[in-house]
Amino acid sequence: MSASGNNRILSSPVFLLLVFFLAMIIKGKAQEAVEGIHYATGQPVRLEFKGGRIESIKKIKKWSGPAKVYIAPGFFDNQVNGFAGVSFSFGNSDLRPEDILKATRELWKKGVTTYLPTLTTHSHEVLMKNFKVLGQNYSGDSLLGSIPGFHLEGPYINPEDGYRGAHPKAYVRLPDWEEFMKLYHASGKKILQVTLAPELEGAMEFIKKCKELGITVAIGHHNANRSQVDEAVGLGARIATHLGNGCANMINRHLNPLWPQLANEDLLISIICDGFHLNEEEIRVFYKVKGPERTIITSDVTSYAALEPGEYKTQTGETIELTREGMLRYPAQNVLYGSASPITKGVGHILKVTGCSLAEAVQMASTIPARLYGLTDRGRLEKGLRGDLVLFTLEDFKLTIQKTYVQGKKVFDLNHP
């Protein structure tokens, strides 16, 4: 065939179309392969992604890396008040879209691939403005679906010292469905969880209405008795928020809100495992009662997590202290002021104090929260699910994140920050 004939073929529409389809086929193949030790089986595996999803999971003969690197579903934190200097609730309503992206990217570095920005007790105006900012910006392409919705903790909580925790008393109020509907619509109907005190006037009716909308109801910062806890669960409450915290320092050894929540078999619990919020024996008891199927590891992390030790003034005037050990406390009430540690620390700490398996620890930090909110596309390593993965080493119960993937895209690499 002559050179001119070859040129005619190469430039023909049929040939160009064939090249286009071949390129699409190649592009549609697995984007990237990841290898590591499966967190549950302990076997070396190779995962491939396609279109942001897990395309395949295959066993390989051996792990060839210099250190044992585990591979697990990305962590899911259902209570993030802020991170890396970004606060979702405090301040003068100055939350910006770029702040949401900053917090998300910093959380990726800690292995958190899904989280609920949490707004706590504040004025109606601040809650409205920040929910509106979140609702308009949570689904941006750059966030890769890491924010499925939001958590409202308060303002419908017990106003008493201790039970109120660090929530400002001036803004604590009774459940108000009309107000909540305004917040709900401002958020784009993306409030997935509300934490309230079930003993408050109007709380039970509020719980019923939340259930009708498919909103997960949690009980927390309360002093409810057994009948109130059981009634709340019967009406639709699903989980106790950070059990053992948001509780008065002095309680009756028999009649207190802890026993009813532990005794109710239909109630899940979330616990903060940062080494400060709960003693080791508390975590062990809570875990023995509820087990890995009804326990969620949360962080309650705040914007102060990235700051140097010292005293700080909050936007609402309280003085808080960040100790050198990493404890964030509110001296005025001798209570903690949220956490300064990401959920990653909690995974290692619960391994240490309970003796649970790595599979169970990851389950409590990923699988169970995804299940609670009906997010069936994440929380497990399975073909077809989102490519949300974390690779980490584990030494002396400390997790060091090596890589994080969200929708099959590498968003953090310890060796190439």
- Contact of 55 with 383, CB cutoff 8 Å: yes
Strand partners, 150: 191
pLDDT of residue 410 exceeding 80: yes
**What digits encode the pLDDT tens for the residues 241-283?**
999 999 998 999 999 999 999 999 999 999 999 999 999 999 9
Residue 395 exposure: Cα atoms within 13 Å on the Cβ side? 7
Q: Which carries the bigger pLDDT value, residue 322 or residue 225?
A: 225
Cβ-based burial of 23 (10 A; exposed 0-12, middle 13-18, buried ≥19): exposed
Residue 313 falls inside a structural domain: yes
Residue 38 falls inside a structural domain: no
List, in order, residues 6 or more apart from 302 with CB less than 8 Å away.
Answer: 81, 82, 83, 87, 328, 337, 338, 339, 340
Residue 1 falls inside a structural domain: no
- Would you place residue 27 in the very low, low, confident or very high pLDDT band (cuts 50, 70, 90)? very low
Helix (H, G, I), strand (E, B) or coil at 15: helix
Average pLDDT value for the chain: 91
**What digits encode the pLDDT tens for the residues 35-87?**
999 999 999 999 999 999 999 999 999 888 778 999 999 999 999 999 988 99
Strand partners, 219: 196, 240
Residue 3 falls inside a structural domain: no
Lowest mean pLDDT segment, chosen from 28-32, 40-44, 84-88, 148-152: 28-32
The predicted structure's pLDDT at residue 25: 46
Nearest to 369 by CA among 234, 238, 220, 208: 238
Domain count, the chain: 1
Residue 62 falls inside a structural domain: no
Percent of the chain predicted with pLDDT > 70: 91
Range of the domain at 227: 74-372
Identify the CATH number of the domain in which residue 196 sits: 3.20.20.140
Residue 52 falls inside a structural domain: no
Helix (H, G, I), strand (E, B) or coil at 22: helix
- Contact of 199 with 225, CB cutoff 8 Å: yes
- Would you place residue 26 in the very low, low, confident or very high pLDDT band (cuts 50, 70, 90)? very low
pTM (two decimals): 0.90
The predicted structure's pLDDT at residue 401: 98
List, in order, residues 6 or more apart from 95 with CB less than 8 Å away.
Answer: 86, 87, 88, 129, 130, 133, 134
- Which DSSP helix (H) or strand (E) runs through 24? helix 13-28
Q: What is the mean pLDDT of residues 148-153?
A: 98
Residue 175 falls inside a structural domain: yes
Q: What is the mean pLDDT of residues 112-135?
A: 96
Residue 359 falls inside a structural domain: yes
The predicted structure's pLDDT at residue 150: 98
Residue 105 CB coordination number (10 Å): 17
Residue 173 CB coordination number (10 Å): 15
Helix (H, G, I), strand (E, B) or coil at 172: coil
| Maximum C-alpha span of the chain | 97
pLDDT of residue 32 exceeding 70: yes
